């Protein structure tokens, strides 16, 4: 299945409405040739995990600026595992302090991008770290 396009779910967990970053990343990933699904705002971890499994995505990009990342990111990963999507690559971005980044990586988040990251760097990371999942 090497020819299948990589599918990415861009999701906004939590209650904050700051979708500037999520929308820019979604567009940049789409412009880079990936297939992108954007969930819209105010998603619960259940909604995100459900959408990821339903849409059979290869990766999930989580954007959060409310400070609830330590609660919501690991919850998304736990629910993915529960639903058979444990191999979906989860990455994230937002205002996330360094000590939280270490902790989130330990919990299974593959990469965290903080303010100032170029869209090119994120696209390059996806190319290097995500491949289409086996059917």
Partner 1 sequence: MSARPKKDAARLAAAPGAAASAAHAGAAAAPGATRATAPGAEERRARFSTVSDMEIAALYTLEDLRGRDGAEDIGCPGQFPYTRGVYPTMYRGRPWTMRQFAGFGTARDTNARFHFLLAQGQTGLSTAFDMPTLMGYDADHPRALGEVGREGVAISTLEDMTELFHGIDLGRVTTSMTVNCSASIILAMYFAVAERQGVPMGALGGTIQNDMLKEFIAQKEWICPPEPSVRVIVDMIEFCAREAPRFHPVSISGYHIREAGSTAVQEVAFTLADGIGYVEAALARGLAVDDFAPRLSFFFNLHNDFLEEIAKLRAARRLWARIMRDRFGATNPRAMMLRTHAQTAGCSLTAQQPTNNVVRVTIQALAGVLGGVQSLHTNSMDETLALPSEQAVMVALRTQQIIAEESGVTNTVDPLGGSYAIEALTSRIEDEAEEYIRQIDAMGGIVRAIDVGFPQKEIAEAAYRFQQQLDRAEKVMVGVNKYQRESEPPIETLRIDPDVEKRQTARVRAFKQARNQAKAREGLTTVRAACRDGANLMPPLIAAVKDGATLGEVCDVYREEFGVYRDPAWL
d(CA 66, CA 5): 32
How near is the Cβ of 83 to partner 1 at its closest, in Å? 19
Question: Which parts of 43-62 interact with partner 1 (CB under 8 A)?
Answer: 44
Count of CB atoms situated within 10 Å of the CB of 28: 16
* Token couple for 118: 């170029």
* Token couple for 52: 């990821």
User: Dihedral, CA atoms, 10, 15, 19, 23, nearest 10 degrees?
Assistant: 10
- Closest to partner 1 by CB, 84 vs 116, is 116
Kindly state the DSSP code that residue 6 receives in the 8-state scheme.
Answer: P
H helical segments located in 12-115: 20-31, 45-54, 69-82, 98-106
Question: Which parts of 5-44 interact with partner 1 (CB under 8 A)?
Answer: 14-20, 23-24, 26-28, 30, 36, 38-42, 44
Question: Which parts of 110-129 interact with partner 1 (CB under 8 A)?
Answer: 114-116, 118-120
- Closest to partner 1 by CB, 106 vs 134, is 106
- Closest to partner 1 by CB, 33 vs 97, is 97
Binding site for partner 1 (CB under 8 A): 14-20, 23-24, 26-28, 30, 36, 38-42, 44, 66-68, 70-72, 95, 97-98, 114-116, 118-120
């Amino acid at each position: 299945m090497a020819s299948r396009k990589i599918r990415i779910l861009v999701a906004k967990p939590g209650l904050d409405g700051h979708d500037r970053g999520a929308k820019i990343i979604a567009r940049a990933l789409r412009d880079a040739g990936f297939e992108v699904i954007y969930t819209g705002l105010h998603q619960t971890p259940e909604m995100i995990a459900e959408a990821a499994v339903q849409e059979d995505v290869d990766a999930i990009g989580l954007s959060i600026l409310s400070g609830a990342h330590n609660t919501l990111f690991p919850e998304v990963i736990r629910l993915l595992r529960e639903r058979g999507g444990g191999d979906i690559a989860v990455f994230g971005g937002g205002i996330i302090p360094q000590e939280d980044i270490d902790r989130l990586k330990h919990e299974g988040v593959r990469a965290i991008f903080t303010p100032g990251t170029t869209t090119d760097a994120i696209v390059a990371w996806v190319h290097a770290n995500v491949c289409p999942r086996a059917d």
